Amino acid sequence: MPEKDATLNEVFEEIADKSGTEFFLELPKNYKKGQTKYVVITGSVMSGIGKGMISSSLCKLLKDREINVEPMKLEAYLNVDSGTLNPFRHGEVFVLDDGTETDMDLGSYERFADKNLSKNNFVTSGRIYQEVIRKERAGEYLGRDVQFIPHVTAEIKNVVRKLALEKKADIVLIEIGGTVGDYENLFALEAMRELAYEDGKQNVCFVNVTYIIEPKTLGEHKSKAAQFGIRQLMQTGIQPDVIICRSETKIPERIKEKISMSSNVHLSNIVGCENIGNIYELPLAMRERNLDEIVLETLEWNKKFPMTGTGNKKLYEWTEKNKPKENAEKIKIGIAGKYTGSSDTYISILKAVEHCEGPGNAKIEIEWIDTEKIEARDKNELQKLDQVKGIIVPGGFGSRGTKGKIEVIKYCREQKKPFLGLCFGFQHALIEFARNVLGYADANTTEIDLKTKHPVVDLLPEQKQIEGLGGNMRLGGQDVEVKEGSIAWELYGKQKHVRERFRHRYECNPEYIQEFEQNGIIFSGKHSKYPIMQILELSKKEHPYFLAVQYHPEFTSRPLKPNPCYLGFINACKKAQ
């Protein structure tokens, strides 16, 4: 055994490779403890209280201090990725540039940190277990019985440390999915406890986001549920360093005192976070409450990354520019889809619209249009079409609500109402045009009708094979060649090539391209080598704004950098009668 005065790091290095040890440490090559520090964010009491937005805001604050911060989501569910999740149950599937299908929180990280993330920023329990089983089958555990501790927790620590090395991060910010007390995330919490033990407590800051209830019947805040939730976290062996108290309204000081006393967290490290009107005000609100300074003090890095003289000024300007002026025009736009009961399903679309409010100086109101009710000719739903300035038809899969989408697109085309079609909306714009302009009454996509005589949208596996995308799903960032002189070309600042993110299987059938073009469709964006159409539009003479794209422009929209397709749509809505 090593000498008594050896450091913990030396102990690990000496015993890590010895057979029979209870330590199972897989430090990546060139990894040095303390070179990267970690912030671990957990949630207690209940889900859906904004843990992802707080994580994103902290990313913004740390980046604002010129810290290389890398956000990461450790998701509890056993799916390998988010690709097969029902968006109505779990929220939208966000697609990274490298094609990884992730939780919607990754979208928040990208928007607030203003950077592209990769597959290593999103890790599910399913992916962890998949790798553990692979190693077991390959004999990499040298005959040991494979267990949650140390093997599963070691794999979690391994992906966290590899991300730190890969991105040369100063700080890796790790959000643990779910709520403390869930069975699913117990091993992620244990892995983070071990990380602090191995790398040193000064290198890991634990932040717990709890919820302070305020029952209307009582008319006051109650902290007991929060105290129990934090105690559950402490029972896992994790002592929080910072506690953020989410609430509907501002909490009184006595609530902070109760939380402090019951959690062993100093009162100065209890941060209140009540609801705010504009989510882009959250980073500034958290800085005013000293959150980033508290975290850096815990990590002993507040002197290494001091607040510069321009720090608060830059953040204040960023906050103000994201808001429209007081006298900004109010416009109502429609989103026509089949998941209108849950805004999380279309969260990136909502955020892309929000990004236009400041730069476009418009106060935007959303009207949800249920396309299944449009199919049923519901009078109230049909009236909404007249009440909005423009309509977005979003993506989706399956046949439910598609007839209603086609009706909405027909209405927009014929009534000259600004229209933006996204992914499936692009395909339905083709179907609507084929049926009502080309005269092919049975035109359809083979996703819905395999026997249609006019498959204007079809699965083209040979094109997928050419591009080497794997399977038949086209995922992630792709270059789009934009037609000079088109509306899209103007929107994108007269760039000939732009990069956008895709998530679809079916394409415009090349056999119908010429006929579409002869009758007024302009394919203003396409693949640079193959006949894969990616943007369609009608000329300004025919329509004030009729644009549909095969990709998801909302995935690349950022605060103060709205995607051009959305900004063009909002500007057209402002001009609409």
Catalytic residue among 75, 507, 554, 573: 554
Name the phi and psi angles at 526, rounded to 5. -155, 170
- Per-residue burial over 96-117, b if 16 or more Cβ lie within 10 Å, else e, is bbebbbbbbbbbbbbbbbebeb
Residue of 474, 491, 477, 497 lying closest to 537 (CA atoms): 491
Catalytic residue status for 554: yes
Rounded to whole angstroms, the Cα distance separating 536 from 472 reads 22
Q: 418 preceded by cis ω (within 30°)?
A: no
SS3 label, residue 243: strand
- Per-residue burial over 357-384, b if 16 or more Cβ lie within 10 Å, else e, is bbbbbbebebbebbbbbbbeeeeebbeb
Instruction: Answer for the pair 43, 176: CB distance below 8 angstroms, yes or no.
Output: yes
Catalytic residue status for 110: no
Residue whose pair of structure tokens reads 């029902």 in the numeric block: 86
Catalytic residue among 356, 447, 552, 565: 552
Would you give the DSSP letter of residue 103? -
Rounded to whole angstroms, the Cα distance separating 147 from 366 reads 50
Q: Which helix (H) or strand (E) holds 111?
A: helix 105-113
Inter-CA distances, 509 with 46, 431, 443, 460, Å: 47, 11, 11, 8
Catalytic residue among 205, 273, 412, 423: 423
Catalytic residue status for 90: no
Instruction: Answer for the pair 480, 498: CB distance below 8 angstroms, yes or no.
Output: yes
- Per-residue burial over 456-481, b if 16 or more Cβ lie within 10 Å, else e, is bbbbbeebbeeeebeeeebbbbbebb
Residue whose pair of structure tokens reads 């996204």 in the numeric block: 422
Catalytically active residues are: 423, 552, 554
